[in-house]
Structures are given as structure tokens and as C-alpha cells.
């Protein structure tokens, strides 16, 4: 049965390997160039010197790091557009691997031939799902490691690993996204038993769940923290901390938020004279600490692996109803 599954899907696997090889041909030279530039600028050393505290007093060092980061972004900022492709890759697995896995067999009627040859539906499903899932996992792990390495300099020169897009293409979550996309495609193929509708449902479903988790759930995995600092004081937010800034504003001396989505610059010696904020105003930032990256990765990976498991379970149940 495993040999049959391989024969059926080996062309897709070979095309996938060829596509990954072409992607690697782009990633390796550009990744090496970014890592070299990052080291030559001294960005890593600069950020290490700032440490991981949310507020630092080394304002000159912060300005220098931000200047170096700006120089790096001027040269390689356009590479971020390639990262969008990395976000889409798991979706393609669900659409072109998962959806046709069952739907094509049912649409063409070839499933009946296998089920009348002494192979039960469960054996057939486990062989197809298991082999495809195992190969997909291996490829997804390799892809996740490569993308994390490639994206590392861009993260070091920008907002940090918890920011949108950066979080989605690094660590272990790309593997979970891929398995979820595959399972969603398989389930869609057992429910809508034609390939094209199943592919459409897999595409829409994946996008809807990803956006919902990213926008609604991820910011609430743990309660956000907040800090305040005086405009033009001796402390400033540390860009090397990698904090995910979720909201900013200005609070008056009573602690009330009077200027949402704004930050005050240095104040004159007599104090802050902003007519709305008044004297004693403080800049306020709400954020998720950068050191929660792996914890958030684990939470999100668990969510998508659980969803993938549930979809496979329901897909197996749906197979019982296919004539």
C-alpha cells in the first residue's frame, strides 16, 4: 500500500523538491549577503551591548543601533517581500497536496478499486495520510530551519521576532502551519468530493483561521505588559529587547491616556508644555516582551497541531460515508 501511495504522489513530491531547490538557490546567496552585511555593520555587537532590558539609559548607543539598522534596511529592506512567499508556502501544501489526496480518488472513482482488493478504508487512509504527512513534515522542518536562518538579519535590524510576519516564518510554527494546511485540505476533500471545490475551501479556510489566530488570539496568549517613561528623559525603549509593541500613547500626570497612538519628543527644561497632556506627561507603551518568543511559538504550534489532529480525525470519520 505504501508503494502504491508513493507511485501515485511521487510526481508531486519531485516537483516540490525541485521548487524547494529553486527557492534555496535564491535564499543561500541572499542570506549569506545579509549575514555578511549584518556582521560588517556591527549590528549584532551593538544590540548585544544594549542587553534585553525594556528601558535603557544608553541613548547614544540606541541611536547608533537604530542608525545601523536603518542602513541595513536601506540595502536589504526589499527582501521582506520574499518573506510573504514563505507565509504562503504552507497554504500551497494544503491546496495542491491535501485537497486532491482524497478528492481526486473519489472524483475519478479509483478508491473503489483499492477498497475491493482486501484493503480497508482505514488502512488506505492511514497509508495515504501517514506517508504524505511524514514527507511533508520532513520538508517543512527543512524549510523552517532555512527560512529562520535567512530571516535572522532582517529581524535583528527591525522590530524583533514577535512582530507580524517575522513570527510567522521563524521557529517551529511554519511546520505547524504546514501540517494544518495539509489536514485541512484532506478534510475538505472528504467533504466536497471534487478537487477544485476542495482546493477552494482549503484556501479560504486556511486564510480565515490564520488571520483569526494571528489577530485575535496571539496578542492575548499572555497579558501584555506596559511601561512609561519621561519624554526626553534619561531612559528610552530598548530596540534590542525585541518587544512586540501593541499600543502607544501619552498619559497625563494623573495616569489618564490623553493622546492615544502618539509619543512626545524631548520636552523643554520647564517640563512638557503640550496643551492636552499638560505638565508631568509620560509616554506609555503596551507590549509583549521579546523573551516570550519561544513560549508564544509553543502555544501557537500546539493550537495548529491540535487543529490538524482534529481535522484528520473528522476526515477518517467522513471516509465511512463515501460510497
Four-CA torsion 139, 140, 146, 152, nearest 10 degrees: 180
Confidence check: pLDDT of 139 > 60:
yes
Residue burial 208-220, b: 16+ Cβ < 10 Å; e: rest: ebbeebeeeebbe
Determine contact, residues 46/65, Cβ cutoff 8 Å: yes
Task: Give pTM, 2 decimals.
Answer: 0.89
User: What's the mean pLDDT in 101-112?
Assistant: 75
Q: Assign 323 a pLDDT band (cuts: 50, 70, 90).
A: low
Give me the residues paired with residue 249 across strands. Answer: 260, 284
- What's the rounded Cα separation, in Å, for the pair 52 and 200? 44
Give the bridge partners for 284, in sequence order. Answer: 228, 249
Q: How many CB atoms sit inside 10 A of residue 205's CB?
A: 18
16-25, 51-60, 239-248 — most confident range: 239-248
Q: Which tens digit of pLDDT belongs to each residue from 248-295?
A: 999 888 888 888 888 887 665 555 556 667 777 889 999 999 999 999
3-state secondary structure of 286: strand
Highest-pLDDT range among 160-164, 234-238, 241-245, 306-310: 306-310
Other beta carbons less than 10 A from residue 155's beta carbon:
20
Which residues, 6 or more positions from 238, have their beta carbon under 8 angstroms from its beta carbon?
50, 51, 52, 53, 54, 55, 56, 62
pLDDT the model gives residue 84: 83
pLDDT tier for residue 235 given thresholds of 50, 70 and 90: confident
Closest CA to 4 of 181, 182, 123: 123
244-251 and 282-288 beta bridge pairing: antiparallel
State how far the alpha carbon of 30 is from the alpha carbons of 16, 71, 109, 147, 162, in Å: 21, 17, 47, 12, 23
Answer yes or no: are the C-beta atoms of 287 and 224 closer than 8 Å: yes
Mean pLDDT (whole number) for 105-120? 67
Angle at 316 between CA 315 and CA 322, to 5 degrees: 85
Checking if the pLDDT of 38 tops 60, the result is yes
Alpha-carbon distance of 270 to 267, in angstroms, equals 8
At residue 142's C-alpha, the angle toward residues 136 and 146, to 5°, is 140
Higher pLDDT, 174 or 21: 174
Measure the CA–CA gap between 240 and 227, rounded to whole angstroms. 16
Predicted local distance difference test score (pLDDT) of residue 278: 73
pLDDT value for 127 = 78
Longest dimension (CA), the chain: 89
Which residues pair with residue 56 across a beta bridge?
236
129 pLDDT more than 70: yes
Write the pLDDT tens digit of every residue in 287-300.
Answer: 999 999 999 999 99
Q: What is the pLDDT of residue 111?
A: 59
Amino acid at each position: 500500500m505504501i508503494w502504491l501511495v508513493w507511485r501515485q504522489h511521487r510526481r508531486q513530491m519531485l516537483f516540490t523538491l525541485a521548487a524547494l531547490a529553486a527557492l534555496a538557490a535564491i535564499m543561500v546567496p541572499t542570506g549569506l549577503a545579509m549575514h555578511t552585511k549584518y556582521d560588517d555593520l556591527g549590528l549584532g555587537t551593538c544590540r548585544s551591548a544594549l542587553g534585553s532590558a525594556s528601558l535603557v539609559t544608553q541613548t547614544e548607543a540606541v541611536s547608533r543601533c537604530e542608525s545601523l539598522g536603518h542602513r541595513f534596511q536601506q540595502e536589504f529592506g526589499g527582501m521582506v517581500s520574499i518573506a510573504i512567499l514563505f507565509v504562503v508556502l504552507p497554504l500551497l501544501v494544503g491546496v495542491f497536496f491535501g485537497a486532491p489526496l482524497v478528492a481526486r480518488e473519489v472524483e475519478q472513482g479509483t478508491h473503489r478499486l483499492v477498497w475491493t482488493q482486501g484493503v480497508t478504508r482505514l488502512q488506505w487512509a492511514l497509508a495515504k495520510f501517514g506517508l504524505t504527512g511524514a514527507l511533508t513534515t520532513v520538508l517543512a522542518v527543512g524549510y523552517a530551519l532555512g527560512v529562520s536562518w535567512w530571516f535572522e538579519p532582517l529581524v535583528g535590524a527591525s522590530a524583533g521576532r514577535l512582530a507580524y510576519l517575522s513570527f510567522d516564518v521563524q521557529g517551529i510554527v511554519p511546520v505547524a502551519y504546514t501540517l494544518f494546511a495539509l489536514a485541512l485540505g484532506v478534510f475538505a476533500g472528504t467533504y466536497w468530493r471534487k478537487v477544485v471545490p476542495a482546493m477552494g475551501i482549503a484556501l479560504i479556510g486556511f486564510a480565515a483561521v490564520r488571520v483569526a489566530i494571528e489577530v485575535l488570539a496571539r496578542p492575548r496568549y499572555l497579558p501584555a505588559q506596559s511601561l512609561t517613561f519621561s519624554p526626553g528623559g534619561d531612559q528610552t525603549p530598548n530596540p534590542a529587547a525585541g518587544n512586540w509593541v501593541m499600543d502607544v500613547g501619552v498619559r497625563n500626570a494623573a495616569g489618564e491616556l490623553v493622546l492615544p497612538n502618539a509619543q512626545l519628543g524631548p520636552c523643554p527644561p520647564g517640563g512638557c508644555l503640550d496643551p492636552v497632556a499638560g505638565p508631568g506627561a509620560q509616554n506609555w507603551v503596551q507590549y509583549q516582551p521579546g523573551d516570550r518568543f519561544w513560549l508564544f511559538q509553543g502555544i501557537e504550534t500546539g493550537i495548529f497541531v491540535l487543529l490538524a489532529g482534529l481535522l484528520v480525525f473528522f476526515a477518517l470519520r467522513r471516509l465511512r460515508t463515501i460510497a
